[in-house]
Amino acid sequence: MIITVGLAAAGIGLYVVLAGWPAQPLPREKLAIAEHVGPISVEMPIISDGIGRNRGGYRTQRLALVASGRMLRTYSPPRNLWVNDLDTIRWGQPLRFLVDPDAGLVYEATSAGRSLLSYDESVAKLQESARNRILIGLGVLAFAAWQFGTLLHRRRQERREARTPQ
């Protein structure tokens, strides 16, 4: 039983750590530019996540943009961040977005010299999320190591008892 729990914990912990690693934010120079002329159409769905009593939701924005050299795609800011003041964009007002075309994330949004979403805020939120995933995965791996250590200790103790004559 302990070995099964240990193996399951090791597998889950390794998966969570490996899933958290690529969630690290991209540097600014690896992002694509998506330019748009206002106004812009924005969908604001509520995203549900979690399991059982831990179910929750958050509102996000979905922006249809064309990044340089890419097809039209829907992009969203990182979880719990918002591209501010999109409803005040006038006809013909230029908008510039820094996006990750592979992940569908908006890192930065600017218009007329104003920042609508800061790159630094996006990076901080994505780093926090990735760090939390990695720490949870490492915690589960530590639990697995503890399970294996307990198993190893028991086996050594049984062998010692088997060798000593009674």
pLDDT tens digits, 42-84: 888 777 776 667 677 778 889 989 888 888 899 999 988 999 8
pLDDT tens digits, 77-121: 998 899 988 888 889 899 999 999 988 999 999 998 899 999 999
* Phi/psi of residue 150, nearest 5 degrees: -65, -45
Calpha distance 21→131 (Å, rounded): 8
8, pLDDT greater than 70: yes
